[in-house]
Chains A and B, each alone.
Chain A
Protein backbone atom coordinates (compact mmCIF):
# COMPACT_ATOMS: atom_id res chain seq x y z
CA UNK A 1 0.00 0.00 0.00
CA UNK A 2 1.48 3.30 -1.11
CA UNK A 3 1.62 5.97 1.57
CA UNK A 4 2.59 9.62 1.35
CA UNK A 5 3.60 11.75 4.31
CA UNK A 6 4.13 15.51 4.26
CA UNK A 7 6.64 17.07 6.65
CA UNK A 8 7.98 20.53 7.35
CA UNK A 9 7.54 23.57 9.59
CA UNK A 10 3.99 24.37 10.63
CA UNK A 11 4.76 28.06 11.05
CA UNK A 12 6.52 30.32 8.55
CA UNK A 13 7.13 34.07 8.85
CA UNK A 14 5.86 36.45 6.17
CA UNK A 15 8.32 37.05 3.29
CA UNK A 16 10.20 33.83 4.10
CA UNK A 17 10.27 30.55 2.17
CA UNK A 18 7.93 27.67 2.93
CA UNK A 19 9.63 24.27 2.54
CA UNK A 20 7.85 20.93 2.62
CA UNK A 21 8.87 17.36 1.85
CA UNK A 22 6.70 14.41 0.87
CA UNK A 23 8.05 10.96 1.67
CA UNK A 24 6.71 8.06 -0.35
CA UNK A 25 6.60 4.60 1.23
CA UNK A 26 5.25 1.26 0.07
CA UNK A 27 6.27 1.91 -3.51
CA UNK A 28 8.89 3.50 -5.72
CA UNK A 29 8.83 7.13 -6.72
CA UNK A 30 9.83 6.05 -10.21
CA UNK A 31 7.39 5.82 -13.10
CA UNK A 32 4.93 8.34 -11.68
CA UNK A 33 4.31 12.05 -11.43
CA UNK A 34 4.06 13.66 -8.01
CA UNK A 35 2.04 16.72 -7.14
CA UNK A 36 1.49 19.36 -4.50
CA UNK A 37 -1.96 20.76 -3.73
CA UNK A 38 -3.10 23.21 -1.07
CA UNK A 39 -6.36 24.11 0.64
CA UNK A 40 -6.78 27.36 2.62
CA UNK A 41 -8.94 26.95 5.72
CA UNK A 42 -12.59 26.61 4.74
CA UNK A 43 -11.84 26.91 1.02
CA UNK A 44 -11.34 24.69 -2.02
CA UNK A 45 -8.41 22.78 -3.43
CA UNK A 46 -5.70 24.48 -5.50
CA UNK A 47 -3.17 22.62 -7.63
CA UNK A 48 0.35 23.96 -7.15
CA UNK A 49 2.78 21.89 -9.24
CA UNK A 50 3.87 18.44 -10.30
CA UNK A 51 7.15 16.72 -11.05
CA UNK A 52 8.06 13.45 -12.71
CA UNK A 53 10.51 10.97 -11.21
CA UNK A 54 12.96 12.12 -13.90
CA UNK A 55 12.59 15.76 -12.88
CA UNK A 56 10.32 17.30 -15.50
CA UNK A 57 8.05 19.88 -13.92
CA UNK A 58 4.92 21.92 -14.44
CA UNK A 59 3.61 24.76 -12.28
CA UNK A 60 0.34 26.56 -11.71
CA UNK A 61 0.53 29.83 -13.66
CA UNK A 62 -0.65 31.78 -10.62
CA UNK A 63 2.18 30.47 -8.41
CA UNK A 64 4.90 29.76 -10.95
CA UNK A 65 7.07 32.74 -10.05
CA UNK A 66 7.35 31.64 -6.41
CA UNK A 67 7.35 27.83 -6.55
CA UNK A 68 10.10 25.25 -6.96
CA UNK A 69 9.44 21.52 -6.90
CA UNK A 70 12.19 18.92 -6.80
CA UNK A 71 12.60 15.15 -6.47
CA UNK A 72 15.15 12.95 -4.71
CA UNK A 73 14.72 9.41 -6.01
CA UNK A 74 17.42 8.06 -3.67
CA UNK A 75 15.27 9.05 -0.69
CA UNK A 76 11.90 8.40 -2.36
CA UNK A 77 10.99 12.01 -1.61
CA UNK A 78 9.89 15.11 -3.43
CA UNK A 79 9.82 18.65 -2.13
CA UNK A 80 8.11 22.02 -2.44
CA UNK A 81 9.52 25.48 -1.89
CA UNK A 82 7.26 28.53 -1.94
CA UNK A 83 9.01 31.86 -1.59
CA UNK A 84 7.90 35.27 -0.33
CA UNK A 85 4.95 33.86 1.57
CA UNK A 86 2.10 35.96 2.91
CA UNK A 87 -0.93 35.19 5.05
CA UNK A 88 -2.73 34.14 1.86
CA UNK A 89 -0.41 31.13 1.66
CA UNK A 90 -1.77 29.75 4.94
CA UNK A 91 -3.26 26.40 4.02
CA UNK A 92 -3.22 22.66 4.43
CA UNK A 93 -0.65 21.37 1.95
CA UNK A 94 -1.16 17.93 0.42
CA UNK A 95 1.08 15.77 -1.71
CA UNK A 96 -0.36 13.22 -4.13
CA UNK A 97 0.66 10.61 -6.69
CA UNK A 98 -0.36 11.11 -10.29
CA UNK A 99 -0.46 8.06 -12.54
CA UNK A 100 -1.72 7.89 -16.08
CA UNK A 101 -4.23 10.71 -15.71
CA UNK A 102 -5.25 9.26 -12.39
CA UNK A 103 -4.68 10.85 -9.03
CA UNK A 104 -4.84 7.99 -6.58
CA UNK A 105 -2.86 8.30 -3.37
CA UNK A 106 -2.76 11.41 -1.19
CA UNK A 107 -0.94 12.34 1.98
CA UNK A 108 -2.90 13.31 5.07
CA UNK A 109 -1.94 16.97 4.66
CA UNK A 110 0.01 19.39 6.81
CA UNK A 111 -1.16 22.79 7.99
CA UNK A 112 1.23 25.63 7.32
CA UNK A 113 0.45 28.96 8.95
CA UNK A 114 2.13 32.16 7.78
CA UNK A 115 2.41 34.53 10.70
CA UNK A 116 4.99 36.64 12.47
Chain B
Protein backbone atom coordinates (compact mmCIF):
# COMPACT_ATOMS: atom_id res chain seq x y z
CA UNK B 1 0.00 0.00 0.00
CA UNK B 2 1.38 3.36 -1.07
CA UNK B 3 1.98 5.89 1.70
CA UNK B 4 2.48 9.62 1.16
CA UNK B 5 4.21 11.21 4.11
CA UNK B 6 4.19 14.82 5.29
CA UNK B 7 5.62 16.50 8.38
CA UNK B 8 3.04 16.14 11.17
CA UNK B 9 3.43 19.71 12.34
CA UNK B 10 5.41 22.88 11.69
CA UNK B 11 5.50 26.21 13.50
CA UNK B 12 6.28 29.52 11.83
CA UNK B 13 6.34 33.13 12.97
CA UNK B 14 4.16 35.73 11.26
CA UNK B 15 6.01 37.09 8.25
CA UNK B 16 8.30 34.08 8.16
CA UNK B 17 8.78 31.34 5.61
CA UNK B 18 8.02 27.64 5.96
CA UNK B 19 8.36 24.72 3.55
CA UNK B 20 6.18 21.63 3.74
CA UNK B 21 7.20 18.45 1.94
CA UNK B 22 5.41 15.45 0.50
CA UNK B 23 7.24 12.14 0.10
CA UNK B 24 6.16 8.94 -1.62
CA UNK B 25 6.89 5.46 -0.30
CA UNK B 26 7.48 4.35 -3.91
CA UNK B 27 10.45 6.67 -4.43
CA UNK B 28 11.18 10.14 -5.68
CA UNK B 29 8.24 12.39 -6.48
CA UNK B 30 8.41 13.80 -10.00
CA UNK B 31 6.17 16.05 -12.05
CA UNK B 32 4.50 12.90 -13.34
CA UNK B 33 2.80 12.53 -9.96
CA UNK B 34 1.05 15.88 -10.64
CA UNK B 35 1.28 17.06 -7.01
CA UNK B 36 -1.68 19.02 -5.74
CA UNK B 37 -1.77 20.93 -2.46
CA UNK B 38 -4.82 21.78 -0.33
CA UNK B 39 -5.46 23.91 2.74
CA UNK B 40 -8.06 22.86 5.28
CA UNK B 41 -9.25 24.90 8.23
CA UNK B 42 -11.29 23.40 11.07
CA UNK B 43 -14.85 22.64 10.07
CA UNK B 44 -14.26 23.54 6.44
CA UNK B 45 -13.81 21.64 3.22
CA UNK B 46 -10.32 21.52 1.73
CA UNK B 47 -9.42 24.42 -0.55
CA UNK B 48 -7.22 23.86 -3.57
CA UNK B 49 -3.98 25.83 -3.62
CA UNK B 50 -1.55 24.28 -6.11
CA UNK B 51 -1.88 21.81 -8.99
CA UNK B 52 0.61 20.00 -11.21
CA UNK B 53 3.55 20.78 -8.90
CA UNK B 54 3.64 24.57 -9.12
CA UNK B 55 0.54 25.97 -10.81
CA UNK B 56 -1.68 28.28 -8.79
CA UNK B 57 -5.44 28.59 -8.96
CA UNK B 58 -6.87 32.03 -9.58
CA UNK B 59 -7.67 32.35 -5.88
CA UNK B 60 -4.30 31.18 -4.54
CA UNK B 61 -2.43 33.94 -2.71
CA UNK B 62 0.94 34.82 -4.23
CA UNK B 63 2.74 33.85 -1.01
CA UNK B 64 2.03 30.16 -1.71
CA UNK B 65 4.33 28.35 -4.14
CA UNK B 66 4.88 24.74 -5.14
CA UNK B 67 8.01 22.94 -6.32
CA UNK B 68 9.98 19.71 -6.33
CA UNK B 69 12.69 19.56 -3.71
CA UNK B 70 15.10 16.70 -3.07
CA UNK B 71 12.80 14.02 -4.47
CA UNK B 72 9.71 15.37 -2.77
CA UNK B 73 6.92 17.76 -3.64
CA UNK B 74 7.12 20.95 -1.64
CA UNK B 75 4.81 23.79 -0.67
CA UNK B 76 6.45 27.03 0.48
CA UNK B 77 4.61 29.74 2.37
CA UNK B 78 6.47 33.07 2.28
CA UNK B 79 5.46 36.03 4.39
CA UNK B 80 3.15 33.86 6.47
CA UNK B 81 -0.08 35.44 7.69
CA UNK B 82 -2.07 34.45 10.79
CA UNK B 83 -4.85 33.17 8.54
CA UNK B 84 -2.44 30.61 7.05
CA UNK B 85 -2.73 28.54 10.22
CA UNK B 86 -4.36 25.35 8.94
CA UNK B 87 -3.84 21.73 7.96
CA UNK B 88 -2.20 21.21 4.58
CA UNK B 89 -2.52 18.09 2.45
CA UNK B 90 -0.70 17.02 -0.66
CA UNK B 91 -2.18 14.67 -3.25
CA UNK B 92 -0.22 12.48 -5.65
CA UNK B 93 -1.35 10.68 -8.80
CA UNK B 94 -0.31 7.06 -9.31
CA UNK B 95 -1.38 6.25 -12.84
CA UNK B 96 -5.12 6.13 -12.28
CA UNK B 97 -5.25 6.24 -8.52
CA UNK B 98 -4.72 9.06 -6.07
CA UNK B 99 -3.23 9.10 -2.59
CA UNK B 100 -3.47 11.94 -0.12
CA UNK B 101 -0.59 12.80 2.14
CA UNK B 102 -0.81 12.41 5.90
CA UNK B 103 -1.21 16.15 6.39
CA UNK B 104 0.84 18.92 8.05
CA UNK B 105 -0.55 21.12 10.79
CA UNK B 106 0.94 24.60 10.38
CA UNK B 107 0.84 26.80 13.46
CA UNK B 108 1.51 30.54 13.17
CA UNK B 109 3.02 31.70 16.43
Chain A residues at the B interface, C-beta cutoff of 8 Å: 35, 37, 44-47, 50, 58-62, 94, 101-109
Cβ of A101 to closest chain B Cβ, rounded Å: 4
A68, B103: Cα distance in complex, Å: 27
Whether A58 contacts B45 in the complex (CB less than 8 A), given A44-B103, A103-B51, comes out as no
From DSSP, what is the main secondary structure of chain A's interface residues? Answer: strand
Contact B100–A109 (Cβ < 8 Å): no
Whether A45 contacts B46 in the complex (CB less than 8 A), given A58-B97, A60-B97, comes out as yes
Chain B residues at the A interface, C-beta cutoff of 8 Å: 1, 34, 36, 38, 40, 45-48, 51-52, 55, 57, 89, 91, 93, 96-103
A74, B5: Cα distance in complex, Å: 40
Q: Which of B45, B47, B89, B98 contacts A44 (CB 8 A)?
A: B89
Whether A101 contacts B45 in the complex (CB less than 8 A), given A44-B102, A47-B91, A58-B97, comes out as no
- Most B C-beta atoms less than 10 A away, residue of A37, A50, A103: A103
Interfacial chain A residues near B55, Cβ < 8 Å: 102
Contact A62–B1 (Cβ < 8 Å): yes
Can you add 18 more A-B contacts, CB < 8 Å, to A61-B1, A105-B48? A44-B101, A45-B38, A45-B40, A45-B46, A45-B89, A45-B103, A47-B97, A47-B100, A59-B97, A60-B98, A101-B36, A101-B52, A101-B93, A102-B48, A102-B52, A103-B36, A106-B45, A108-B45
